[in-house]
Amino acid sequence: MSDGIKKKILDYLTQNKGKELTVEDVAKAIGEQRLNVVKAQLTRLAKEGRVQKVAEGKYKVP
């Protein structure tokens, strides 16, 4: 389950490269209502270096 969400998140951020997006923006775009799940996956992606956390609750693909 989480791998699918993680891929959707990464795909969406890649399509919007350079834009700073909130957890809410990403969740709405991928159709996921559970913000905690989206935030957890964004945190993992940031730790892996695949996305960049630019501010509290804002992420982007570098």
The pLDDT value recorded for residue 62 is 87
Give the whole-angstrom CA distance, residue 29 versus residue 23: 10
Rounded to two decimals, the pTM is: 0.91
- State which amino acid sits at residue 2: S
CA distance readout (Å), 60 to 1, 3, 20, 36: 22, 19, 5, 18
DSSP state of 50: S
For the segment 17-25, the average pLDDT, to the nearest whole number, is 97
In tens, the pLDDT along 26-55 reads: 999 999 999 999 999 999 999 999 999 999
Give the whole-angstrom CA distance, residue 21 versus residue 33: 16
For the segment 15-36, the average pLDDT, to the nearest whole number, is 97
Domain 2-60: which topology?
A: Arc Repressor Mutant, subunit A (1.10.10)
